[in-house]
Amino acid sequence: MSRFCQLSALLALALPLFTTASPVDLNALLRRQDVDTPQNASLPNVTIYSTGGTIASVGTSNTQTIGYSVGLGVQQLVDAVPEILNIANIDGYQVSNVDSGRINSTILLNLTQLINAELAKETVAGVVITHGTDTLEETAMFLDLTINSTKPVVIVGAMRPATALSADGPLNLLQAVTLATSEVARGRGVMISLNDRIGSALYTTKMHANAPDTFYATEQGQLGFYINQVPYFYYEHALPTGKPFFNISGATDLPHVDILYAHQQANGALVNASYESGAEGIVFAGVGAGGLTPAYSLAAQELYNATGIPMVASHRSPDGFAPISESNGWIIGSGPLNPQKSRVMLQLAIEVGYDNEKIRSLFAGTMPDADA
Ligand SMILES: *[C@@H]1O[C@H](CO)[C@@H](O)[C@H](O)[C@H]1NC(C)=O
Ligand SMILES: *[C@@H]1O[C@H](CO)[C@@H](O)[C@H](O)[C@H]1NC(C)=O
Ligand SMILES: *[C@@H]1O[C@H](CO)[C@@H](O)[C@H](O)[C@H]1NC(C)=O
Ligand SMILES: *[C@@H]1O[C@H](CO)[C@@H](O)[C@H](O)[C@H]1NC(C)=O
Ligand SMILES: *[C@@H]1O[C@H](CO)[C@@H](O)[C@H](O)[C@H]1NC(C)=O
Ligand SMILES: *[C@@H]1O[C@H](CO)[C@@H](O)[C@H](O)[C@H]1NC(C)=O
Ligand SMILES: *[C@@H]1O[C@H](CO)[C@@H](O)[C@H](O)[C@H]1NC(C)=O
Ligand SMILES: CC(=O)N[C@H]1CO[C@H](CO)[C@@H](O)[C@@H]1O
């Protein structure tokens, strides 16, 4: 149990437990925990990457479930669930300790680089990422598109701080580590694991701002369920149709892509404002099946004619499809992907230099196969 003592000391210096979240120095926090206790050779090895979020948060009382602050390190997370050490040998990285609204491209790039290197090791069975729930699905999407491994990659969070009555973090973490060691969990891409459910990174979304039962796969269904903490899967090994992989090993940052939300009388000036502030692509959270409404539509077409930057139409309704438009059209339908997932896909496509037609094919590829 002393395996995280060095990290703990580091955290105690860098991040007093009861402060409110503030930007942290990645150089100080991005540390691997050296293993200084004997390993149980008959157990698989799992590496946990802790980024912060509610799962690592403490409130001032056991009834406080909003307005708490981030502060627990990876050691304290594991200490709260000693049962984990019967399932796997745990190694920990403290990647950041922030609420998930502060996760940015530096952290994402570090994470994917570290995880790809870790999964390449024969001795590692799988990895777990602990994360705030607010933008968890964005990190899950990013990792799913940039990790090249069949080993389980599980992203987990909590809706109640560690100090709350019925805190959900400990069981969620136990399940996530169990899943990371599971043979049947292999080859399924990045999995979002919370509240007994196992979801796919491409399809699972946060549906409720406050309740613990918040992550749902819209339409496409959950991948599996836990019974007595044993993961059961509904499907044979399969990945979502058209899930690409981007090798971004050379990237040092990610392209600026904005999301503009369509609504009655949406303000067309936002389209130019987005471009002028540096956007290399724009995703619209469209009405219905990706409709932009008149002012956005006119401004977006004008901007496209002037600059040719990719414009993706997604849908603000959680379920459904934005149809893939014809070749050489100015707008690209997102298919089933919601605006925030479309943004991650578009960032990666721009990063690796796809032209607009290749981006169109990329999104078209995510439409379910009709004739397979
Ligand atoms: C991301 O956040 C970290 C920690 O706050 C900071 O060091 C880094 O510069 C940020 N990166 C970007 C691209 O803003
Ligand atoms: C190592 O793990 C195995 C399998 O869970 C267990 O039976 C054994 O008691 C463990 N050994 C030690 C020394 O903890
Ligand atoms: C776990 O890691 C240790 C140390 O890196 C290694 O000796 C051991 O073989 C690994 N266990 C498995 C099951 O791969
Ligand atoms: C993925 O990794 C395998 C080796 O595990 C390698 O052969 C392959 O080229 C990689 N794919 C990409 C797109 O980098
Ligand atoms: C990405 O490509 C580089 C260079 O071809 C290769 O060394 C590396 O293993 C690839 N990364 C992944 C995650 O496949
Ligand atoms: C966007 O900028 C262009 C070029 O400056 C201008 O012609 C156009 O009227 C602007 N569109 C809107 C909606 O403000
Ligand atoms: C954009 O260019 C196309 C093709 O040249 C043209 O038909 C269309 O009217 C232009 N749209 C706007 C809003 O300028
Ligand atoms: C790939 C990447 O962005 N790596 C960064 C990880 O974090 C350290 C510390 O901030 C940076 O120096 C690396 O460039």
CATH number of the domain that 352 lies in? 3.40.50.40
Q: E-assigned strands of 99-217?
A: 124-130, 153-156, 190-194, 197-200, 204-206, 215-217
- On whether both 154 and 18 belong to a single domain, the answer is yes
CA of 189 to the centre of ligand 5 (A): 17
In a shared domain, residues 288 and 342: yes
Which ligand is nearest the CA of 331, by number? 7
**138 falls within a domain:** yes
Using the mean position of ligand 1's atoms as its centre, give its distance from the Cα of residue 358 in Å: 30
| Co-location of 168 and 102 in the same domain | yes
24 CB less than 6 Å from ligand 1? yes
Tens of each residue's pLDDT in the chain, 372 residues: 233 333 333 232 222 233 333 333 444 444 555 433 457 889 999 999 988 888 777 777 777 777 777 777 777 777 788 888 899 999 888 887 788 888 999 999 999 999 999 999 999 999 999 999 999 999 999 999 999 999 999 999 999 888 788 889 999 999 999 999 999 999 999 999 999 999 999 889 999 988 899 998 877 778 888 999 999 888 888 888 889 999 999 899 999 999 999 999 999 999 999 999 999 999 999 999 999 999 999 999 999 999 999 999 999 998 889 988 777 789 999 999 999 999 999 999 999 999 999 999 999 998 876 554
Q: Which of 176, 201, 233 is the last residue of a domain?
A: 233
26 lines ligand 1 (CB under 6 A): yes
Q: Is residue 371 part of a domain?
A: no
**End position of a domain, from candidates 165, 199, 233:** 233
**Does residue 301 have its Cβ closer than 6 Å to ligand 7?**
yes
pLDDT tens track for 32-88: 554 334 578 899 999 999 888 887 777 777 777 777 777 777 777 777 888 888 999
Tell me which residue has its CA closest to atom 7 in ligand 6.
Answer: 302
What type of residue is 336?
Answer: P
Closest CA to 243 of 191, 189, 318: 189
Q: Are residues 210 and 271 in the same domain?
A: no
Same domain, 261 and 205: no
Flag whether 242 is in a domain.
Answer: no
Ligand nearest to the CA of 311: 7
Q: Is residue 252 part of a domain?
A: no
Q: Are 88 and 177 in contact (CB under 8 A)?
A: yes
Q: Among 54, 130, 146, 178, which one carries the catalytic annotation?
A: 54
In this structure, the answer to whether residues 275 and 344 fall within a common structural domain is: yes
- Pick out the residues of the known binding site for substrate: 100, 133-134
CATH code for the domain in which residue 121 is found: 3.40.50.1170
Q: Are residues 167 and 283 in the same domain?
A: no
Asked if residue 294 and residue 225 are part of one domain, the reply reads no
* Closest by CA position to 92, among listed 175, 174, 4: 4
Residue type, 209: A
Residues 290 and 209 in one domain: no
Tokens of 147: 């990790």
The count of domains in the chain is 2
pLDDT at 96: 79
Q: Is 41 in the pocket of ligand 2 (CB under 6 A)?
A: no
Question: How far from chain centre, in Å, is Cα 146?
Answer: 11
> Which of 32, 34, 39 has most ligand 3 atoms within 8 Å of CB, for mutation?
39
Can 54 be counted among the known catalytic residues?
Answer: yes
* Average pLDDT score, the chain: 85
Q: Name the residue range of residue 79's domain.
A: 3-233
- Residue 245 resides in a domain: no
- Pocket lining: 66 vs ligand 7, CB cutoff 6 Å: no
76 Cα to the center of ligand 2, angstroms: 22
Same domain for 162 and 91, yes or no, is yes
What whole-number distance in Å separates Cα of residue 134 and Cα of residue 57?
Answer: 14
The Å distance, Cα 305 to ligand 6 centre, comes to 11
Instruction: Check whether residue 13 and residue 162 sit in a common domain.
Output: yes
From the CA of 112, give the closest atom in ligand 5: 13
Is 369 within the bounds of a domain? no
- Residue 78 sits in the same domain as residue 214: yes
Is 240 within the bounds of a domain? no
Instruction: Sheet with 281-286: list strands edge to edge.
Output: 257-261, 281-286, 311-315, 331-333
Annotation marks residue 133 as catalytic: yes
pTM given for the model = 0.81
